[in-house]
Amino acid sequence: MAITQTESHFEKLADQEALESWIARSYTEPVVIFKHSDSCGVSSRAYTEMIKLARPIGLVTVQTERAISDEIETRFNVAHESPQALVLLNGEIVWSASHGRVRAEAVKAAIEEVDNGA
């Protein structure tokens, strides 16, 4: 399985098995997947925002993990965007944001809302 530790609390989702593991984890707690482009200024700003979160984040760099990015789009019926933050619970997307809406406080609030059963 190719989950590798990257900067701070990012875990790179580099293959199908890693994605499946991350989705399985969503059955015990909310998980965050962050789709990132390493050639985009907006995505760079969003990456800086995601660093602020004190929790593990599944990282999909769209240039190098295109198949995983495509699988997320197909499986969850969500349009591809980058940057894009997705919060999953029980194998389903319960919150998402893209571009300028990817902010640490927004992701944190979404996770808290899910944790509180709202």
Q: What kind of fold does domain 3-115 have according to CATH?
A: Glutaredoxin (3.40.30)
pLDDT tens-place string over residues 45-54: 999 999 999 8
Q: Which tops the pLDDT comparison, 23 or 7? A: 23
Task: Please count the other Cβ atoms lying within 10 Å of the Cβ belonging to residue 98.
Answer: 19
pLDDT of 116 reads 79
Q: Where are the chain's structural domains?
A: 3-115
The pLDDT confidence band at residue 115, using thresholds 50, 70 and 90, is confident
Please, what is the end-to-end C-alpha distance for the chain in angstroms? 34
